[in-house]
Every structure is written in structure tokens, then in C-alpha cells.
């Protein structure tokens, strides 16, 4: 769900991260390696973006255990007639998905309140259409929390999931709720409800991956699909924040770094002119160097990472080195990440898109004519890939 559609109020807290924009020149390999921090980018949108200075008040921490309470709601015009346990089973696999995606750095501890909570208004009255306002969405969350409050202690949880009965066709899609610190908001049991996901009927189509996508917004991740035109023209099926139904939904290595799932020591950085050769291990596996970053400006960089058809990416349409441009000044839904396609003219197999074929094989080179940034895949194999970064 385009998270920015629900934020109509300006945030009251501004934040900056001082990053040196004129980084020291990196020498030709071998030579002293620049610290990873020299390739971290500052956010410029004040919302979900690719910056590393994620506002710790507006968004929740993406490491450790996130305690979540699931509420099951029905409505006067759409009463539930089935068991809440069927719905809980639809959500359940998301905990394992997130644990594997983060290599154990993030965990969902989901508690389900197994009773139907009757909402005070008809389902059709909540206005669940694209363009749903922040105020209307917050009212929905408030009604659910208020109705459930006699049966639950909200002080024990970090966020809430609200799941409607399948009879409520009007609750069609699954937006993320991110609180506005400048308003009274929603509170229960002495605790502010800061984060939540209100699921719709698309939960039954996408299951655990829509849970992962929407929960990613509470961590500060933007949407990688386009809000207009060709929806998946920026990243295709790479990363669950793009095409939720994509064939390679493992989070990009850049996202893993932003979220704290990989350490600075696992990031190879070339912040200016020079050359550097890097051995990459696949992002689907734990350990090793995960991303090579070639910084090209104050808010831009190219990233190379190794992708393999295993783990969450076992159905990937192509494998090798994924190269993409990151722009931390680009807003959610406006292409903050853009994958560079190695073979744009190749006809993809059934079930794949041209951009799903974007991985670069050994011997291939990507060059940005505007900055002179150059990434060459030197070699590749079962254990990973070697890339050479360069910039004049």
C-alpha cells in the first residue's frame, strides 16, 4: 500500500544525519578501504525512503522481537460466521518469513485475540478505497482498538494487526498505519498505538508476503513499485517491497543494511573516484560481504549484490549480480530504487518479466554515462560473485 497516501499531516520532528558529501578518494585495489558510513545516504523526504537516518520515533526498530497483537473484526453489515483460527493460520507463516529474511535479526511474536470484535460501524462506511485518508484510516484503527480494549492489554505490544472477516468485501486492501506524533492519535492501556497493519481481502491472495511488505513500512521502508504507469517498472519482482507476488522477494542488501540486518563490516564502499574489487556472498545466505556500494552523489549510489535461487528467492527468474541505483531523495512510489537490466531485450520465460531477468553474469559491465560509474562482474560461482567498482 502506498504509505504516503495516508499521511496528510506534516511530521513535527525534523531530523538530519551529517554525512560527508566530499568523501576521501579511494585508491585502486588493493588499498585502504573506505568505511561503510561514507556510502550511507541521508533521507530527504521526511517519510519512508532509502536514507539511513530513519526517524526512530516515527518508525519502529527492525531488529529484535516485535510483539504484535492481532485483532479479528466483523461489522453490523458483515458478521463473521467462521473461526478466527483460519485467519490466524493465514498470518502465521509471516513470522518465519521475516526471521529467515533477516537471518534471525528480526522476529515477530504474534499473539491473536481469538474472538470476533464487532466494529461500531458498517464496513462500507470506512472508505477503504485507494486514496483512503489518514483520518479515516486512524478512525478504523481507533474503533478496532476501542472495541477490543476490554479483552486485551495493549500495553504489552509494539503494534497491532487488524484482520477483517472475509464477509467484509468493502475492506479490500491492506494499508499500514503509521502514527502522527503531532496528534492525540490512538491509545489504550496507557500506551500509544504507533504502528499497525489493517489487512483487507488481499491477505487471502498474498498471505505472509503482504504481512512482510506492510510490516516493512513500519520499519521505514518505501514502496518500490510505481504509483502510476507501469506498476513494476522500477524493480520488477526483486524485493517484497516491490512486486509482492514477485519471484525473488528477499529484501535487497541495501534494505538489509538500512534495517540493521547486516553490519557495516559486510558493506564494501567506494565513496569517490578510484577502483575496488569485492567478493560478494549471496544476500540469501548469512555471513560474508553482502553489498558493494559505489557512491555517485549526495543522495545517490549504485549497489551490486549477489543473488541466488535459494531461500526466499528459490523461484528467481535470473541469478548473478543485481545492480541497482538508490536515490534517497526519491519519494516512496517514485523509484527510490531502480534495477539496471542486463538484458532488456531478452524475452522472459512464462511467469517472469523482463526486469526479473536483470541479474548480470560474469563478463558483463554496467556503466553510467552521466557519472562514469562502472561495475564489472569479474567472476561468479556457487559461492558468490566478484565485482570490480570504478569511477573516474
At residue 140, the pLDDT reads 98
Spell out the domain ranges in the chain: 15-54+230-391, 64-218
Tell me: pLDDT of 19 over 90: no
How many Å apart are CA 100 and CA 103, to the nearest integer? 5
Q: Say if residue 25's pLDDT is above 90.
A: no
Element (H, E) at 203: helix 203-206
For residue range 189-247, list pLDDT tens digits in order: 999 999 999 999 999 999 999 999 999 999 999 999 999 999 999 999 999 999 999 99
**pLDDT at residue 176 is higher than 70:** yes
Tell whether domain 64-218 is in CATH 3.40.390: yes
Three-class secondary structure assignment of 231-244: CCCCCCCECCCCCC
Query: Residues 264-313: pLDDT tens digits?
Result: 999 999 999 999 999 999 999 999 999 999 999 999 999 999 999 999 99
- Which is it for strands 291-295 and 267-270: parallel, antiparallel or unpaired? parallel
Q: Is the dihedral of CA 203, 206, 212, 213 positive or negative?
A: negative
CA–CA gap between residue 269 and residue 336 (Å, rounded): 19
pLDDT score, position 42: 98
Mean per-residue pLDDT of the chain: 92
Closest CA to 253 of 314, 324, 353: 324
For residues 142 and 148, give the distance between their C-alpha atoms in angstroms, rounded to a whole number: 10
Beta-carbon neighbour count of residue 142 at 10 Å? 15
In the predicted model, what is the mean pLDDT of residues 150-159? 98
Spatial separation of the C-alpha atoms in residues 149 and 82, rounded to whole Å: 22
Peptide bond into 30 cis (omega under 30): yes
All three cell numbers of 375: 561495475
**pLDDT tier for residue 31 given thresholds of 50, 70 and 90:** low
CA distance 258 to 149: 35
Least confident of 21-25, 54-58, 180-184, 250-254: 21-25
Rounded to whole angstroms, the Cα distance separating 243 from 110 reads 25
List, for residues 324-377, the tens digit of each pLDDT value.
999 999 999 999 999 999 888 888 999 999 999 999 999 999 999 999 999 999
Residue 65 CA to residue 287 CA, distance in Å, equals 21
- pLDDT tens, 302-335? 999 999 999 999 999 999 999 999 999 999 999 9
49-55: average pLDDT: 97
Query: For the whole model, what pTM was predicted?
Result: 0.91
Amino acid at each position: 500500500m502506498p504509505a504516503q497516501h495516508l499521511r496528510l499531516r506534516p511530521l513535527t520532528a525534523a531530523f538530519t544525519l551529517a554525512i560527508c558529501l566530499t568523501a576521501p578518494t579511494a585508491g585502486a585495489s588493493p588499498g585502504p578501504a573506505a568505511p561503510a558510513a561514507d556510502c550511507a545516504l541521508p533521507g530527504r523526504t521526511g517519510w519512508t525512503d532509502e536514507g539511513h537516518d530513519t526517524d526512530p520515533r516515527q518508525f519502529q526498530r527492525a531488529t529484535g522481537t516485535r510483539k504484535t497483537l492481532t485483532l479479528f473484526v466483523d461489522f453490523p453489515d458483515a458478521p463473521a460466521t467462521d473461526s478466527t483460527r483460519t485467519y490466524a493460520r493465514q498470518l502465521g507463516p509471516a513470522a518465519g518469513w521475516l526471521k529467515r529474511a533477516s537471518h534471525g535479526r528480526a522476529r515477530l511474536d504474534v499473539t491473536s485475540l481469538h474472538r470476533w470484535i464487532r466494529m461500531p460501524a458498517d464496513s462500507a462506511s470506512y472508505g477503504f478505497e485507494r486514496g483512503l485518508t489518514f483520518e479515516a484510516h486512524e478512525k478504523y484503527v481507533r474503533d478496532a482498538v476501542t472495541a477490543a480494549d476490554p479483552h486485551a492489554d495493549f500495553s504489552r505490544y509494539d503494534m497491532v494487526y487488524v484482520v477483517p472477516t472475509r464477509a467484509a468485501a468493502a475492506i479490500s486492501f491492506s494499508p499500514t498505519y503509521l502514527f502522527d506524533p503531532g496528534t492525540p492519535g490512538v491509545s489504550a492501556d496507557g500506551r500509544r498505538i504507533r504502528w499497525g497493519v489493517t489487512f483487507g481481502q488481499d491477505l487471502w491472495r498474498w498471505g505472509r508476503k503482504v504481512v512482510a511488505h506492510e510490516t516493512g513500512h513500519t520499519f521505514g521502508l518505501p514502496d518500490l513499485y510505481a504509483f502510476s504507469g507501469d506498476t513494476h517498472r522500477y524493480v520488477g519482482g526483486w524485493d517484497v517491497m516491490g512486486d509482492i507476488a514477485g519471484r525473488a522477494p528477499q529484501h535487497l542488501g541495501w534494505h538489509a543494511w538500512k534495517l540493521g540486518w547486516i553490519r557495516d563490516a559486510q558493506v564494501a564502499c567506494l565513496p569517490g573516484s578510484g577502483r575496488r574489487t569485492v567478493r560478494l556472498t549471496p544476500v540469501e545466505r548469512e555471513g560474508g560481504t553482502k553489498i558493494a556500494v559505489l557512491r555517485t552523489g549526495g543522495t545517490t549510489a549504485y549497489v551490486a549484490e549477489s543473488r541466488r535461487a535459494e531461500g526466499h528467492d528459490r523461484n528467481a527468474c535470473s541469478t548473478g549480480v543485481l545492480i541497482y541505483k538508490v536515490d534517497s531523495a526519491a519519494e516512496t512510489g517514485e523509484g527510490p530504487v531502480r534495477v539496471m537490466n542486463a538484458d532488456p531485450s531478452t524475452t522472459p520465460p512464462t511467469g517472469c518479466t523482463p526486469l526479473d531477468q536483470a541479474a548480470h553474469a560474469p563478463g558483463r559491465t554496467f556503466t553510467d554515462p552521466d557519472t562514469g560509474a562502472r561495475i564489472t562482474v569479474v567472476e561468479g560461482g556457487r559461492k558468490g560473485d566478484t565485482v570490480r567498482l570504478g569511477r573516474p
